[in-house]
Structure 1
Amino acid sequence: MNKLSDKIATWLAPVANKFANQRHLGAVRDGFILLIPLVIVASFFILINNVVLDPDNGILKNVIDLSQFKGIGTQVYNGTLGFLSIFVAFTVAYKLAVSYGKDGVIPGVMSVAVLVTMFPSVLEVTPLNSEAAVQVTGMITQTETSATGLLFAIISALLGTELFLKLQENKRFRISLPESVPPAVSRSFEALIPAFVTLSFFGTLVFLLQSMFGLGLQEIVTEVIQVPLKAIFQGLVGINVVMTFQNLLWGMGIHGTFVLGPITEPTLLTAIQENINAFQTNIEIPNIVTKPFIDSFAMLGGGGCTIGLIIAIFIASKRAEYREVAKFSLAPGLFNINEPLMFGLPVILNPILAIPLILVPLVNLNIAYMATSLGFISKTVVMVPWTTPPVLSAFLSTAGDWRAALLAVLLIGISVFIYLPFVIAANKVANEERSH
C-alpha cells in the first residue's frame, strides 16, 4: 500500500504543483486574497442588518426598532461586495503584471477600463410605479459590478493585461521621453499607445458582437462559461467530483483548496452573492453550494474535516506521538488551520488516514446538501471568514439558524465516528512494527 501511495504521489504531485504555479491561475488566486478583508467586512454588516436590525425578523424586533440604521450597512455593501468585480479586475491584473516583473498599477487601471468598456451601453429599466421598460444610457448596475460579474471581470483582467503588456513591450508602440522627465510621467506616456490599442480592440469587439448577434460579450461569457460552471457546482454529482479531487490532493500533501481556488472561488463567491441579494430583498434563496457552505459543513477544522481526526485521536489513539501532535494541533484546528496535523502525524501520504481524509468531507457535504435541500436548515447567506470556528461558522453563515449549528455538531460526531477505526488501525500497525 505504501508503494501504491508513493506511485500516486509521484505522478500526481508534479501535475498539481504545475497547476498551482501557473501564472494566470496564481494571479486569480492572489487577487482574491487581497480582497478578503472587504468581503468579510461586507458580510459583517449584512449579518447585522438582517439578524439584528431587521424590524420583522431581527432579534431586537420586540425590543427596539433600529431599522433606520440599516442604511449604514447598505452603503458599506455598495462599496464592497457591490463593487467586487471592479476590485477583482484591478487586483488580478495587478498580480499578473507583477508576475511578469512589471509595475502592476497601470495594468490594474487598464483592466478596470477594459472591463467597463465591455459593459452594456444601453440598459432596459422599469421605473417605479410603471410597467413599461425604458432604455437608458450611461448607467452601470450591480449586475455588472458585484460578484455576479466576477467571471467576466477575471477574463477581462487576464486578456486585457496580456494584450496591454505585449503592446507595451513593443518599441514601436512606446513613446520615449527625455531622461529629465519624471519617471512617473514617462511611464504614463509609455502606456499611452498600448492603452489606446487595447481599449480600441475590446470596444470594437463588443460593438461587432452587439451588431451581429444582439448580445454583449458579458452575456456571451455568462451563457457559455458561467452558467455551465454554476450548474456543475450546484449539482450534487458535480460538487462531489470537485471535492473528491480536492481531498485527494490533500492526501498527496498538496494544498487542494489552494490549487483549485482559481476555479472554485469565482463560482462559489458568485453563488453567495446571489444568496445575499435574495436574502436582502426577501425572495427565495437560490443556491445551496456556496463558499461558506463548503467551509461550514465540508471543511470542519480544515481540509478533510480534521477536527474529527483530532477528537478520534484523543479517544482511541495509544500512540504517544499521535496524541502529542493532536494536542498542539487542537488550537489551530479550532480555527480551521490543520497544517500542523497534516504534516505532524503526518496525514499526507499516509495510506491509512488518507482514506477517511477523502471520505469524511464527502459524507458531510452530502448530508448538509440534503438537509439544506429538504429545508431542515437554512441556506447560507452570509460570507464568514474561513477561520471562523466550526459550529459558529454554520450558525453565522445561515444568519443565525440554530439548526445549522446543530447539524455542524452532528457532522463533527460523524467525522469522529468515521475516523475512529482508522486511528485504531494506525495503533495496530504501530504495534506490529514494534513487534518486528
Structure 2
Amino acid sequence: MNNFMNTLESKILPVANKIGSQRHLLAIRHGILATLPLTIIGSFFVILLNFPVEGYDQWIAPYRQALDIPFRFTVGAMALYASFGVGYALAGHYKLDQLSAGFLSVLSFFITCVIPVQVAEPVKGVIDAGRWLSISSLSAQSLFGAIVTALISVEIFRFFIKRDIRIKLPESVPPMVANSFTALVPTLVVILLFWGIRHGLGFDINSVITNLVSPLKDLLVGNSLIGGMLTVFLIVFFWTLGIHGPAILGPIIRPMWDSAILENMEVFAETGKAAQLPNLFTEQFIQWFVWIGGAGSTLALVVLFLFSKAKYLKELGKLSIVPGIFNINEPIIFGAPIVMNPILMIPFILAPLCNVIVAYTFFKLGFIPMIMAKLPFTVPAPLAAVISTDWTIMAGVLVILNFIISLCIYFPFFKMFERQHLRDESVESNS
C-alpha cells in the first residue's frame, strides 16, 4: 500500500497539478464560475414560473411574459456572459487590459455565433422591418463556441501587445483612453478573422465545436450511468491526492454541466414538465444525491465521528458537522485526514459511486423527475433535492436513503480508523 501511495504522489500528483494550473483551463473555470449568480437567480424565476400548485398556471398567466424576462436575460443569455468572463480571466493571467479583452471576446462571439435575421413579414407591435437577433443564440447552445472564440480573441490581443504592435499615445493621456487605442489593431484583426471565417468562408465554428464535444458531453452529463460514475470517480480520486477535484476537471466538465442544466431549465420553462427534460447527470444531480455533505458523501463520516470514542475524532466531528450540513467538507477531508489515507480513501470513493447507482435507478424508474433548477451548493441536500426536482418529496427520501447507504459503507472503515486513534491516544496517555 505504501508503494502504491508513493507512486500516486510521485507520478500522478505532479501531472494533476500541472493540468489544474494550466492558464486556459483556469480561465474557463473562473469565467464560467463568474456566471453563477445569474444562473442561480434565473433558476428561482424558473421555479416561480412553474410552481406545482393547482390553479397556479391560471393565476400567473397575465404575468407570465413579464416574469419570463429575468430568466431569458440570465440563463437565456449565459453564453454571452461566459464569453466575457473567460476573456476577462485569461487577460488577467497575461496582465493585459481585462476590459478590452472581455469586449473582444464578446465581439468574436457575436460575429461567429449570432446571425442577424432579416424580417420577412412584419410582426405587429414587435418589428416592422430591418433585422433582429435571436436570443436563443446567446444560450447554452452557443456556450462552447463562446469559450473557444474568447480564448482565441485574447491570444490575438496578447500577440499584438507582446510584439508592441499598437497605436501609442503620449504618456499624458489617461490610461483608460490609452488602453482603448491599444486595442484598436487587435479589434480590427478579430473582426476580420471571425467575420471572414463565418461569413466569408461560411464556416460555423460554434456548430463544429458543439458537434465535436457532443459525444463527450452525452457520456459525462447526459444519461449514461458509466459516464456519471466516471465523473464522480475522477473527482473523488483527485481529492484523495489532496487536489481539489473540481478544480482539475472543472475547466473540462463545468461548461458541459452548465450547458446541461441550462438546457433542462430552458425546456422546463417552455413545458413545465420536469419528467421530460433531456439531461440526468447535471452537476446538481451529483451535488444533491451523491455529494451528501460534500465530495465523497462525507456527512456520514462526520456523524460517525460525532459518536467516536477517540477524542480527536469526536472533536473533529463537532467542528465539521455544521459545515457538512451545508455541503462544505474541507475540515473533514484535511482534518481526518482523508487525503493520502489508505483506510478512509476506500469508502470516500466507494460511497459516492454506490449513491450514483441508487440515484440513477430511482430516476430511470420514474420515481423522481429530472432536475430543473440550479440552487446554491450550500443549501442542505434534502431540501435542495426536493426544490430542484419540481418539489418532489421522493427526492428528499432518496437523499436520506443514500445518506444511510454511505453511513453503512463508511462504518467498518471508521471503526478501523477509530481503533488506530484509540491506540495512539492510549500510548500518548501512558507515556
2:126 is aligned to none
TM-score by length of 2: 0.91
AA at the equivalent of 1:219: S
Contact 2:76 2:266 in 1 (8 A): no
Worse overlay, 369-378 or 321-330: 369-378
Task: Select 2:132's aligned residue among 122, 135, 139.
Answer: 139
Give identity over the alignment, percent.
Answer: 33
Unaligned 5+ segments in structure 1 are 52-57, 130-135
What is the alpha-carbon distance in structure 1 between the residues aligned to residue 262 and residue 9 of structure 2? 37
The reply to whether residue 395 of structure 1 matches residue 386 of structure 2 is: yes
What is the alpha-carbon distance in structure 1 between the residues aligned to residue 232 and residue 42 of structure 2? 27
Worse overlay, 370-379 or 6-15: 6-15
Q: Compared with structure 1, are the counterparts of its residues 143 and 276 closer, same or farther at alpha carbon in structure 2 (3 Å cutoff)? A: same
2:17 is aligned to 17
1:385 is aligned to 376
Unaligned 5+ segments in structure 2 are 124-128
**3-state SS, counterpart of residue 233 of structure 2:** helix
Contact 1:209 1:217 in 2 (8 A): no
2:157 is aligned to 164
TM-align CA RMSD: 2.4
**1:162-214 Cα shifts (integer Å, max 9, x gaps):** 1122123323x31112233332222211211111012201111123542xxxx
Q: Compared with structure 1, are the counterparts of its residues 61 and 348 closer, same or farther at alpha carbon in structure 2 (3 Å cutoff)? A: same
Shift, 1:350, TM fit: 0.9
Contact 1:120 1:216 in 2 (8 A): no
Q: Compared with structure 1, are the counterparts of its residues 361 and 126 closer, same or farther at alpha carbon in structure 2 (3 Å cutoff)? A: farther
AA at the equivalent of 1:395: V
1:244 is aligned to 233
**1:234-273 Cα shifts (integer Å, max 9, x gaps):** 2211221221111111111111022211111110111111
Worse overlay, 70-79 or 327-336: 70-79
**1:212-238 Cα shifts (integer Å, max 9, x gaps):** xxx522111111223432334322112
What is the alpha-carbon distance in structure 2 between the residues aligned to residue 157 and residue 221 of structure 1? 13
Shift, 1:128, TM fit: 12
AA at the equivalent of 1:157: A
Task: Select 1:188's aligned residue among 168, 180, 190.
Answer: 180
The reply to whether residue 205 of structure 1 matches residue 197 of structure 2 is: yes
The reply to whether residue 222 of structure 1 matches residue 216 of structure 2 is: no
How many residue pairs get matched? Answer: 418
Contact 1:230 1:267 in 2 (8 A): no
**1:269-289 Cα shifts (integer Å, max 9, x gaps):** 111111111112216211111
The reply to whether residue 332 of structure 1 matches residue 323 of structure 2 is: yes
What is the alpha-carbon distance in structure 2 between the residues aligned to residue 126 and residue 354 of structure 1? 63
1:133 is aligned to none
Q: Compared with structure 1, are the counterparts of its residues 62 and 241 closer, same or farther at alpha carbon in structure 2 (3 Å cutoff)? A: closer
Contact 1:206 1:217 in 2 (8 A): yes
Task: Select 1:70's aligned residue among 51, 57, 64.
Answer: 64
AA at the equivalent of 2:375: V
1:80 is aligned to 74
AA at the equivalent of 1:329: S
2:254 is aligned to 265
What is the alpha-carbon distance in structure 1 between the residues aligned to residue 218 and residue 58 of structure 2? 41
2:7 is aligned to 7
Contact 2:220 2:230 in 1 (8 A): no
**3-state SS, counterpart of residue 17 of structure 2:** helix
Q: Which consecutive aligned stretches of 4+ in structure 1 deviate over 6 angstroms post-superposition?
A: 124-129
Task: Select 2:89's aligned residue among 80, 91, 95.
Answer: 95
